[in-house]
Amino acid sequence: MKQIHIQKNEASLSGFLSATYPMLKTGTLNKFLRNNKIKLNGKKVPLNTPLKKGDIINLFIDDSYLEKPNINNAFKFSSKNLEIIYEDDNLLVVNKPAGIPVNDDNWQNFDTLINRVKNYYYINNIDRSPALCHRLDTGTQGLVMLAKNETFLKFMLDMFRDKSLEKEYICIVKGIPKKKNALYSAYLTKNAKQGYVTISDKSKDNNSKPIQTQVTLLESYNDYSLLKVGLITGRTHQIRAHLAYLNMPVLGDSRYGINSLNRQLKLKYQTLCSRKIAFGKIDHPEYGYLSGKGFICPDPWFVESFNKREF
């Protein structure tokens, strides 16, 4: 039994408990209250009851629910929702939802993709700690690959560095491409301090990097288009910035898109999804089994909205 002495007035019993013990979410608190495992001054009271200095809370619940987050256990406070697309002894491929970062170096954001993966293995008593092979922007949905051992991680990092993987995205933009299928080339210059990139026809300085983006029109209506985008190069924010430069900003993109339109359409995240990742021919004694293997995630939510002409 855990006894808590309230040191100052608090708005509600549930608010105080959730803030103090992040694992005690609303549904869990309601369950414990129904089972008489939460008492305020010796009585069962509604969770919205205000707390006053001097009140005493008694919790008759397992200590595992009373953990406080630190760098070592932060993963336990993440969501348990994890969509696994593929898994073997070396590789894990998952479908990251829009809105969660792949990780947080300061561990203050508990609900990251890497924490969801760690939580999945922890709950299933599997001694694994997969490592990210690459990243996706927080607002982008789609496939992320993780390595389950150091040797395979090095192999995958080399694959991404050498651009040996086929990467295909799908997105909705404002505007219609002039050609149904075209390869666009430009230069991308990164401003690391501002977390922003600019696109130009010619190199601006030594920081400018050449980019190539393959754009295929899948369907359009009014002034909106559903595009398939292939990354020939893979630079920071390349798709979003390059499409905006081509007068086809991604819907929902707050950085390179049209914010007034995003607000009008009530879009919280960009309509961009990393839909496919595929290996080419692999001549490797251990990982050759992945040769030609590809992974595709289910259509993201915005495809259905596009098909219903909701934009």
Q: What is the pLDDT of residues 10-56, one digit of tens each?
A: 999 999 999 899 888 889 999 999 999 999 999 999 999 999 999 99
pTM of the model: 0.84
pLDDT at 91 over 80: yes
Which pLDDT does position 65 carry in this prediction?
A: 87
pLDDT at 71 over 90: no
The string of DSSP codes covering 87-144 is: E-SSEEEEEEPTTS-S--TTS-----HHHHHHHHHHHTT-----EESS---TT-EEEE
Mean pLDDT (the chain, rounded): 93
Which pLDDT does position 64 carry in this prediction?
A: 82
Q: Which residue has the tokens 């305020």?
A: 40
Domains and CATH numbers, the chain: 2-66 (3.10.290), 74-161 (3.30.2350.10), 165-307 (3.30.2350.10)
What's the rounded Cα separation, in Å, for the pair 27 and 146? 31
